Each structure stands twice: as C-alpha cells, then as structure tokens.
Amino acid sequence: MFYHLMAQINPELIMETFTVRDLRERTGELIRGAEEGRLSVVTKHGTPVFIAVPFDETLLREGVATALAVRLFDEEHVSLGKAAKMAGLSVGQMTDLLAGYGIPVIRTTREELEQSLADFG
C-alpha cells in the first residue's frame, strides 16, 4: 500500500531531484538538504530510484514510512488520510502522532479565520 500511495505523488514537485549521475558532483547538496530536513529523490533515466529521508527523531522513533508520511503531511503535500495510510495508521492514530510532534492537523489561513469570525459576528 505504501508504494501505491507514493506512486500517486510526483516527487519532482515536492522534493529536490538528483539523477544518479548528479550524485558524483552534487553529493554535498544532497547532504546539506538532508541536514536542513529536506527530502530528495534520486532518479535513474527519469524514474525514481530512492528517496533520501532526513535522519531525525521521527525516523528513529517511527521508521521510514511514518517519517516520510509525517514530513509530507507537515509540508502539506498529502492529506491527513493519505499520510495515515502511508504510515499504516488510522486517522486518529496519525492525529495523535502528529500532535506528539507539535504538528497541527487543522490549518486555518488568516483569511479563513477572519471569515469564520465575521460569520459569527
């Protein structure tokens, strides 16, 4: 299921892309990006081969699939439901996990908040 969900995401739109050939010349960039918490995808002949996931607390505690799901949700690339499926969790479990990392599940823009307040007034 994880791979099926990942196939629905265009990694080039949300991650820095490196070709296998780039790795020789741009390894430093890949490492700096990981240190800054950015995901990267490595491709071969235009096909994704692997994703470089930053080595952080989430990865250590939760594993690769969950760390990737948390990061993609936090960066607003996937919905809560999709992130939960990627992590193999229920939506409630995913909500609890995100709360544990201080990641808000409901994100309201300033304009949405102002409109909601105006609707009550």
pLDDT over 50 at 36, yes or no: yes
Q: Which amino acid is at 85?
A: K
Over residues 42-75, the pLDDT tens digits come to 888 888 888 888 887 878 788 888 988 998 899 8
Dihedral of CA atoms 50, 55, 60, 66 in degrees, nearest 10, equals -50
pLDDT over 90 at 105, yes or no: yes
Q: What SS3 class is residue 54? A: coil
Section 80-84 average pLDDT: 93
Q: Where are the domains of the chain?
A: 2-120
pLDDT band at 8 (very low <50, low <70, confident <90, very high): low
pLDDT over 80 at 10, yes or no: no
Q: Which amino acid is at 87?
A: A
> Homologous superfamily of 2-120 in CATH?
YefM-like domain (3.40.1620.10)
